[in-house]
Amino acid sequence: MKFTINRSAFIKELNNVQRAISSKTTIPILTGLKLDVASDAITLTGSDADISIETTIPAVDDNNTLVVEAEGSIVLPARFFSEIVKKLPEDTMTVNVEDGFQTQITSGAASFTINGLDPENYPHLPEIDTTNTVTLAGDVFKELIGQTVIAVSTQESRPILTGVHFILKDGEFLAVATDSHRLSQRKIKLPEANNADYDVIIPGKSLTELSRMIGDNNPDVQMRLSENQVLFVLGNTSFYSRLLEGNYPDTSRLIPKESSTTVEIEAPALSAAIERASLLSHESRNNVVRFSVNPSDKTVTIFGNSPDVGEVTEQLQPAELTGDELEISFNPDYMKEALRSFGQAMIRISFTMALRPFTLVPTEDGENFIQLITPVRTF
């Protein structure tokens, strides 16, 4: 295998695939980076078994100045190879694989020969067929991930809750995540008619990494499914993720349909107040903050109280307040994270009873984005 390429074009893609490479892995060959060289393009692959990133550099693009002299494949120690490439002297570099997987890297007067590994030992990425592709706008998808992944579980006790549940049906895309204490649900109507039918659970960690890769120059993200992995195509880069196995619990029944008290308020204002109250709650044994909703004078008062630390109170004037009086307590960190996901919007909080979960939705669109939080009992 032998090719020559523009170094900075190569480094850009190298950095992309390195996001998936971890130094701590149970399969030693995964600390390596795979290079596949075909006559018209080279493909770089990095993986930690859970996520795999594959990117292609075509010869046809002049910026790459890619010249392929011989086809072939090799796996090279990722970190070491990357450091070498970044420190080479000239604009271009040549990679040449000789017998016994010895790989020569040259640039100008510098020449390295390093030991490569047998590419046959590298895991195979699944073949994913292109029927039932779902296309989403990059920024919309990135926002969706940001809004749902905050609610995934971080505990190993119930692994299926560490993922986000994606359901595609009748042209509608639903994403749900919950750790049993709070829940986040986002609905998107797909722009084009689509017959795809998906029901998968994607690890939260994979989606977070994917989100970081959706840049401004990725207008569209294409999602495709195989039996056991999901593939997201962003331009020349393919992002694969393993799925979680099992049945995700039915969450539709968890979202209350009616309410007895509603409060409309600007998310940032409420968030700032909650943050102040949590200064106290973080110092005490219970991280709990209380709302006192008072319809008669249209106020919401935030209380924090801890016998050995102190107390805090703040009164808020919501834009709207209807329904019954209510005293309810909850974890302020969940509230803050939920509020942050609304950005600058005006939100409506709907309560039923002091011991039942309450929801937060944007006032402009109460159907397509819902955050739910379970309250905490106070005695």
Residue 45 is which amino acid? T
Q: Which of 4, 50, 106, 306 binds other proteins (CB under 8 A)?
A: 50
8 A C-beta contact, residue 154 and residue 205: no
Task: Print the binding letters for residues 232-271 with other proteins: x by CB under 8 A, - otherwise.
Answer: ----------xxxxx--x---xx-----------------
Which structure tokens are listed for 172? 């509608």
Does 70 help bind other proteins (rule: CB under 8 A)? no
Does 154 help bind other proteins (rule: CB under 8 A)? no
Based on its alpha-carbon atoms, the radius of gyration of the chain, rounded to whole angstroms, reads 26
Task: Print the binding letters for residues 341-360 with other proteins: x by CB under 8 A, - otherwise.
Answer: --------------xxx---
Task: Print the binding letters for residues 303-342 with other proteins: x by CB under 8 A, - otherwise.
Answer: ----------------------------x-----------
Does 195 help bind other proteins (rule: CB under 8 A)? no
Does 89 help bind other proteins (rule: CB under 8 A)? no
Give the whole-angstrom CA distance, residue 360 versus residue 160.
24
Does 131 help bind other proteins (rule: CB under 8 A)? no
Give the whole-angstrom CA distance, residue 3 versus residue 366.
55
Q: What is the 3-state secondary structure (H, E, C) of 5-72?
A: EEHHHHHHHHHHHHCCCCCCCCCHHHHEEEEEECCCEEEEEEECCCEEEEEEEECCCHHHCCEEEECE
Q: How far is the CB of 60 from other proteins (least distance, A)?
A: 31
Q: Which residue has the tokens 């084009």?
A: 192
Residue 355 is which amino acid? L
Which structure tokens are listed for 167? 């359901």
Q: Which of 178, 271, 281, 371 binds other proteins (CB under 8 A)?
A: 178
Sites of contact with other proteins (CB under 8 A): 26-29, 49-50, 120-121, 123-126, 156-161, 178, 180-183, 203, 227-229, 242-246, 249, 253-254, 331, 355-357, 372, 374-377
